[in-house]
Amino acid sequence: MMKDRKNSGLKLNRRQLMLAGSAAAMSFAMPHVVSRAYAEASAPGNVDAAKAEGPVVVWHGDQEADVVEYLKIFTEKTGVPAVQQRLLPGQALPKLEAEFRAGQTTGDLYLTSDSGIMENLRQQNRLLRYVPADMDAYGPEYRSSEPGYWTTYYVNVGPMMYDPRYVQESEAPKTWTDLLDPKWKGQIGFQNSAAGTSYGFWFVLKDILPKDYWDNLGANNPRAYSSSTQISQDIERGGLKIGGRVSIFQYVKAIRHKQPVKAVFPPLGVPSVNQATGIFSTTKRPNGAKIFTNFMLSKEGQTIWNNIQGSYSARKDVQVEYLPDINTLKLLLPLDFKEYKNPENRRQFVAVWNKMTGL
């Protein structure tokens, strides 16, 4: 039979002919179909329509004051009103789950330190694809694999931090392993297991550091804080000697306030996470949400945001005062998103982290 077919040369029956014709048409049309989908995803928001939609609702886990300041400027620049609510993942996701099921969503955009959550939302078709004008300014490590679902609005680099008024520079830890020194017992602070930055920290270091590192670190009784602001505050007040992982913007804010803090970037690498922004697929204000995304990821929006926050932009053309040159740092970013969003890894992290911080 196979032989017969091979010998039949160009002889095709009618069905095969139709299939071949369809395939040819498809292959001819495909680039146009893809580019049309891309064009639809790239369709910009209309300002008048956005104003008619009402204030864009931004859910985020950042410092509220920073977001409020940024939204004020955003509205001044674009004419689109916006409001915010600070919701850490544990608050945002139960709400979101319930809202999606009931079809009564209230938020339009989500800004989070956990790009793994964004990947999950994308897989659940809960994110709207929108490709802003400046998408090419973002490297592949700073956006969803299919661009437009989520993009990094800042890179949250997490060095160690201390205040030289309370810790001599010579005795301060220089490497991650230095944190195991018993002299720091009860004097190291991390964010708790609810923080996306803690998960990112563990994820990028788990295969680099020895397997028993976390148990050994746990023996030093690290303390859990709910935010990096809390850690930074306690360092400033002398209640905590070492911030085990502190968001870099706390360092910049402290320097701006003329506090003598030091950031330590271990040579092994500095765990960093993508702070990702994405639009909910159920947004009731799609025009406003697109305008927000477009502005946030533009050079202007990135300059404004990262100067307010004091953090690194994922764009190479945006610089912020007081931040060490990012090119001198060895960043450890989660790149394997299949593994990063893997529930098994998350469960393992929560167990390790809670045990380490005494929960």
Partner 1 sequence: MSAVADMNTEKALVRASSLNVRPEVWVPLVLLIGTLGYPFFLLITSAFNVGDPEVFPARSYGFANFVKLADHLDWIKNTLIVAGGGTVLGITIGVSLAWIIHRTTMPGRKWFDLLIAIPYPLGPLVGALAWSQLGAPRDGLINRFFTAVTGIQTPLIDIYTPLGIIFTEAIFEAPVAVLIIGAAMQRMDPALEECSAIFGSGKLRTAWKVTLPLMMPAILSAALFMFTSMIGSFAIPTMLGTSSRFYVSTNAMYVLLQGYPPNYPLAAALGFVLIAMTAIAVWLVQRVLRGRSYAVISGKNYRPRQVNMGWLTWVLFALTILYVLLSLILPMGTLLLASFQNSNAINFDFASWTLRNYKYVMFDFPTTQQAIVNSLILGVGTGTIGVIFATFIAIATHRSKSDGRRLLEQVTMLPQAFPRLIFAIGFLWMILTLPIKLYGTLLAVLLAYVIVFLPLAYRGMSGVVVQIDKALEEAARVSGAGAARIARTVTLPLLRPGLLATWALLFMVSVREISASLFLSGTNTQVLGPAIFSFWDSGGMPRVSALAVVQALIILVALTVVRVMANRGVKV
Q: Exposed e or buried b for every residue in 52-80, given b needs 16+ CB within 10 A?
A: ebebbbbbbbbbeebbeebbeebeeebeb
Interaction between residue 345 and partner 1 (CB under 8 A)? no
Single out the residue of 83, 180, 209, 268 in contact with partner 1 (rule: CB under 8 A): 83
Which 3 state secondary structure label does DSSP give 69? helix
Query: Residue holding tokens 């139709």?
Result: 18
Residue 337 burial by Cβ neighbours in a 10 Å radius (0-12, 13-18, 19+): middle
Q: How far is the CB of 199 from partner 1 (least distance, A)?
A: 8
Question: Near partner 1 by CB under 8 A, which window of 45-53, 56-64, 135-143, 168-176?
Answer: 56-64
Interaction between residue 75 and partner 1 (CB under 8 A)? no
Give the Cα-Cα-Cα angle 30, 34, 39 (nearest 5 degrees).
Answer: 145
Q: What is the DSSP string of 78-105?
A: H---EEEEE--HHHHHHHHHHHHHHT--
Q: Which two tokens stand for residue 204?
A: 């990028």
Query: Which 164-203 residues touch partner 1, going by CB under 8 A?
Result: 189, 192-194, 196, 199
- Judged by beta carbon, residue 335 or residue 359, the one nearer partner 1 is 359
Q: How far is the CB of 282 from partner 1 (least distance, A)?
A: 13
The span from the first CA to the last CA of the chain, in angstroms, equals 69
**CA distances to 21, 118, 182 from 273, in Å:** 48, 13, 29
Q: How far is the CB of 257 from partner 1 (least distance, A)?
A: 6
Q: Count how many Cα atoms sit within 13 Å of the Cα of residue 102 in the half-sphere of its side chain.
A: 9
Asked if residue 158 lies in contact with residue 270, where contact means CB atoms within 8 angstroms, the answer is yes
Counting every residue written for the chain, the total comes to 359
Interaction between residue 139 and partner 1 (CB under 8 A)? no
Size of residue set near partner 1 by CB under 8 A = 57
Interaction between residue 223 and partner 1 (CB under 8 A)? yes
Q: How far is the CB of 218 from partner 1 (least distance, A)?
A: 11
Q: How far is the CB of 268 from partner 1 (least distance, A)?
A: 26
Interaction between residue 343 and partner 1 (CB under 8 A)? yes
Interaction between residue 285 and partner 1 (CB under 8 A)? no
Interaction between residue 11 and partner 1 (CB under 8 A)? no
Interaction between residue 236 and partner 1 (CB under 8 A)? yes
Which chain residues interact with partner 1 by CB under 8 A? Answer: 57, 62-65, 68, 83-86, 88-91, 93-95, 97-99, 101-102, 104, 106-107, 114, 117, 189, 192-194, 196, 199, 221, 223-227, 229-230, 233-234, 236-240, 257, 259, 343, 346, 350, 354, 357-359
